[in-house]
Chain A
Amino acid sequence: MPNKKTEELEGVAIRFTGDSGDGMQLTGTKFTESTALAGNDLATLPDYPAEIRAPAGTLAGVSGFQIHFSSKEISTPADQPDVLVAFNPAALRANIDDVRPGGMVIVNTDAFNDKALARAGYDEDPLPALRDRVKLVEIPLTRLNREALKDLNLSYRDADRSKNFFALGIMFWLYHRSMDPTLRWLESRFKGDIREANVRVLNAGYAFAETTEMFPVSYVIPSAKIQPGTYRNITGNTALAWGIAAAGTLNDCPVFLGAYPITPASDILHELARYRQFGVRTFQAEDEIAAISTAIGASFAGMLGVTTTSGPGFVLKQEALGLAVMTELPLVVVDVQRGGPSTGMPTKIEQGDLLMALYGRNSDCPVAILAPSSPGDCFHIMIEAFSLAVKYMTPVVVLSDGYLANSAEPWLIPDIASLRRSPVKHHTEISNFQPYERNPETLARPWAVPGTKGLEHRIGGLGKDEITGNVSYDPRNNERMIELRAEKVARIANDIPPIEVNGQDQGGLLLVGWGSTHGAIYAAVKEARENGLNVSNIHLRHLNPFPSNLADVLSRFDQILVPELNQGQLSRILRAEFLLPAVPMIKQQGQPFQISEILERIRAMLREEN
Chain B
Amino acid sequence: MADAAVNLTQKDFATDQDVRWCPGCGDYSILANVQRVMPEFGIPRENFVFISGIGCSSRFPYYMNTYGMHTIHGRAPAFAAGVKASRPELSVWVVTGDGDGLSIGGNHLLHAIRRNIDYQILLFNNRVYGLTKGQYSPTSRIGMKTKSTPDGSIDYPVDPIKFALGASATFVARTVDVDAKHLQQTLRRAHEHKGTAFVEILQNCPVFNDNEWIEVENKKTRSEAALVLEDGQPLVTGSKGQRRGIRIENGIPSVVKLGDEEDPVAAGVAVHNERHDSPAYAFALASLERPNFPIPIGVFRSVERPAYDEMLSNQVTQAIEKRGEGDLHALLHSGDTWTVE
Hey, which chain B residues are within 8 Å of A233, CB to CB? 336
| Among candidates A277, A294, A297, A449, residue contacting B323 with C-beta atoms closer than 8 Å | A277
Given A277-B323, A277-B325, A453 and B44 contact (CB-CB distance below 8 Å) = yes
User: When A and B form their complex, what is the total count of cross-chain residue pairs whose Cβ atoms lie within 8 Å?
Assistant: 209
Q: Are A277 and B320 in contact (CB under 8 A)?
A: yes
Q: Are A452 and B85 in contact (CB under 8 A)?
A: no
Contact with A along B320-334 (1 / 0, CB 8 A): 101111101101110
Closest B residue to A448 by beta carbon equals B67
Distance in angstroms between the alpha carbons of A285 and B78 in the assembled complex: 8
Hey, which chain A residues are within 8 Å of B62, CB to CB? 458, 460, 471
Given A277-B324, A286-B111, A460 and B71 contact (CB-CB distance below 8 Å) = yes
8 A Cβ contacts from B66-122 to A? 66-72, 75, 78-83, 85-87, 89-90, 107-108, 110-111
Q: Does A414 contact B (CB under 8 A)?
A: yes
B233 to chain A, nearest CB (A): 37
Contact with A along B192-228 (1 / 0, CB 8 A): 0000000000000000000000000000000000000
Q: Does A56 contact B (CB under 8 A)?
A: no
Q: Are A39 and B82 in contact (CB under 8 A)?
A: no
Hey, which chain B residues are within 8 Å of A458, CB to CB? 15, 50, 61-62, 64, 67-70
Q: Does A230 contact B (CB under 8 A)?
A: yes
Q: Does B261 contact A (CB under 8 A)?
A: no
Segment at the interface with B among A4-12, A214-222, A242-250, A542-550: A242-250
Given A286-B110, A458-B70, A301 and B46 contact (CB-CB distance below 8 Å) = no
Q: Does B17 contact A (CB under 8 A)?
A: yes
Q: Are A256 and B338 in contact (CB under 8 A)?
A: no
Q: Does A128 contact B (CB under 8 A)?
A: no
Hey, which chain B residues are within 8 Å of A294, CB to CB? 78-79, 81-82, 85
Q: Are B326 and A275 in contact (CB under 8 A)?
A: yes
Distance in angstroms between the alpha carbons of A249 and B328 in the assembled complex: 8
8 A Cβ contacts from A406-437 to B? 413-414, 416
Q: Are B80 and A231 in contact (CB under 8 A)?
A: no
Distance in angstroms between the alpha carbons of A250 and B326 in the assembled complex: 12
Segment at the interface with A among B183-191, B284-292, B311-319: B311-319
Given A290-B81, A300-B79, A450-B67, A232 and B328 contact (CB-CB distance below 8 Å) = no
| Among candidates B49, B82, B90, B338, residue contacting A295 with C-beta atoms closer than 8 Å | B82
B94 to chain A, nearest CB (A): 11
Hey, which chain B residues are within 8 Å of A295, CB to CB? 82
Distance in angstroms between the alpha carbons of A280 and B331 in the assembled complex: 14
Contact with B along A278-304 (1 / 0, CB 8 A): 111101011101100111111111110
Closest B residue to A256 by beta carbon equals B86
Q: Does A261 contact B (CB under 8 A)?
A: no
Distance in angstroms between the alpha carbons of A223 and B15 in the assembled complex: 69
Hey, which chain A residues are within 8 Å of B90, CB to CB? 301, 450-451
Q: Does B337 contact A (CB under 8 A)?
A: yes
Q: Are B85 and A256 in contact (CB under 8 A)?
A: yes
Q: Does B172 contact A (CB under 8 A)?
A: no
B324 to chain A, nearest CB (A): 7
Q: Are A254 and B68 in contact (CB under 8 A)?
A: no
Q: Are A281 and B69 in contact (CB under 8 A)?
A: no
B87 to chain A, nearest CB (A): 4
Given A242-B331, A245-B331, A286-B107, A227 and B82 contact (CB-CB distance below 8 Å) = no
Q: Which of B45, B83, B108 has the most CB of A within 10 A?
A: B83
Hey, which chain A residues are within 8 Å of B110, CB to CB? 286
Distance in angstroms between the alpha carbons of A289 and B111 in the assembled complex: 13
Distance in angstroms between the alpha carbons of A249 and B326 in the assembled complex: 8
Hey, which chain B residues are within 8 Å of A245, CB to CB? 326, 328, 331
Given A233-B336, A293-B79, A303-B86, A277 and B44 contact (CB-CB distance below 8 Å) = no
Q: Does B335 contact A (CB under 8 A)?
A: yes
8 A Cβ contacts from A550-602 to B? none
Q: Does A373 contact B (CB under 8 A)?
A: no
8 A Cβ contacts from A297-325 to B? 297-303, 305, 319-320, 322-323
Contact with B along A241-271 (1 / 0, CB 8 A): 0100110011000101010000000000000
| Among candidates A226, A281, A461, A471, residue contacting B72 with C-beta atoms closer than 8 Å | A461
A230 to chain B, nearest CB (A): 5
Q: Does A533 contact B (CB under 8 A)?
A: no
Q: Which of A275, A290, A297, A301 has the most CB of B within 10 A?
A: A297
| Among candidates A232, A300, A327, A461, residue contacting B335 with C-beta atoms closer than 8 Å | A232
Contact with A along B1-36 (1 / 0, CB 8 A): 000000000000001010000000000000000000
Q: Are A452 and B46 in contact (CB under 8 A)?
A: yes
Closest B residue to A414 by beta carbon equals B332
Q: Are B326 and A277 in contact (CB under 8 A)?
A: yes
Distance in angstroms between the alpha carbons of A164 and B2 in the assembled complex: 62
Hey, which chain A residues are within 8 Å of B339, CB to CB? 228-231
Closest B residue to A229 by beta carbon equals B340
Closest B residue to A286 by beta carbon equals B111
Closest A residue to B79 by beta carbon equals A297
Distance in angstroms between the alpha carbons of A471 and B332 in the assembled complex: 46
Given A297-B79, A297-B81, A461-B71, A455 and B111 contact (CB-CB distance below 8 Å) = no
Q: Does A194 contact B (CB under 8 A)?
A: no
Q: Are A290 and B78 in contact (CB under 8 A)?
A: yes
| Among candidates A302, A319, A454, A460, residue contacting B87 with C-beta atoms closer than 8 Å | A302
Distance in angstroms between the alpha carbons of A416 and B47 in the assembled complex: 36
Q: Does A150 contact B (CB under 8 A)?
A: no
Q: Does A137 contact B (CB under 8 A)?
A: no
Q: Does A443 contact B (CB under 8 A)?
A: no
Distance in angstroms between the alpha carbons of A416 and B327 in the assembled complex: 10
Hey, which chain A residues are within 8 Å of B335, CB to CB? 232
Contact with B along A168-195 (1 / 0, CB 8 A): 0000000000000100000000000000
Hey, which chain B residues are within 8 Å of A305, CB to CB? 82
Q: Which of B72, B319, B325 has the most CB of A within 10 A?
A: B72
Q: Are A416 and B83 in contact (CB under 8 A)?
A: no
Hey, which chain A residues are within 8 Å of B328, CB to CB? 245-246, 249-250, 278, 416
Distance in angstroms between the alpha carbons of A453 and B65 in the assembled complex: 12
Distance in angstroms between the alpha carbons of A327 and B90 in the assembled complex: 20
A350 to chain B, nearest CB (A): 28
B336 to chain A, nearest CB (A): 5
Q: Which of A39, A250, A305, A459 has the most CB of B within 10 A?
A: A459
8 A Cβ contacts from A85-120 to B? none
Contact with B along A455-466 (1 / 0, CB 8 A): 111111110000
Q: Does B178 contact A (CB under 8 A)?
A: no
Q: Are A232 and B82 in contact (CB under 8 A)?
A: no
Q: Does B151 contact A (CB under 8 A)?
A: no
Q: Are A293 and B319 in contact (CB under 8 A)?
A: no
Q: Are B83 and A297 in contact (CB under 8 A)?
A: yes
| Among candidates A250, A254, A289, A449, residue contacting B75 with C-beta atoms closer than 8 Å | A289
B121 to chain A, nearest CB (A): 14
B330 to chain A, nearest CB (A): 10
Q: Does B51 contact A (CB under 8 A)?
A: yes
Q: Provide 21 A-B residue pairs closer than 8 Å at the C-beta atoms, listed in order of the A residue.
A: A36-B336, A228-B341, A231-B340, A232-B338, A249-B326, A276-B318, A277-B326, A286-B78, A293-B72, A297-B69, A297-B79, A297-B81, A297-B86, A298-B83, A298-B86, A303-B87, A453-B44, A458-B61, A459-B68, A459-B69, A461-B72
User: Which residues of A come within 8 Å of B, CB atoms?
Assistant: 33, 36-37, 39, 181, 223, 226-233, 242, 245-246, 249-250, 254, 256, 258, 275-281, 283, 285-287, 289-290, 293-303, 305, 319-320, 322-323, 327, 413-414, 416, 449-462, 470-471
User: Which residues of B come within 8 Å of A, CB atoms?
Assistant: 15, 17, 44-51, 61-62, 64-72, 75, 78-83, 85-87, 89-90, 107-108, 110-111, 312, 315-316, 318-320, 322-326, 328-329, 331-333, 335-341
A228-B339, A293-B72, A294-B78 given; name 12 further pairs at CB < 8 Å: A231-B338, A276-B316, A278-B328, A293-B82, A294-B79, A294-B81, A295-B82, A297-B79, A298-B85, A301-B83, A459-B70, A471-B62
Closest 4 CB pairs of A and B: A297-B82, A460-B70, A278-B326, A294-B82
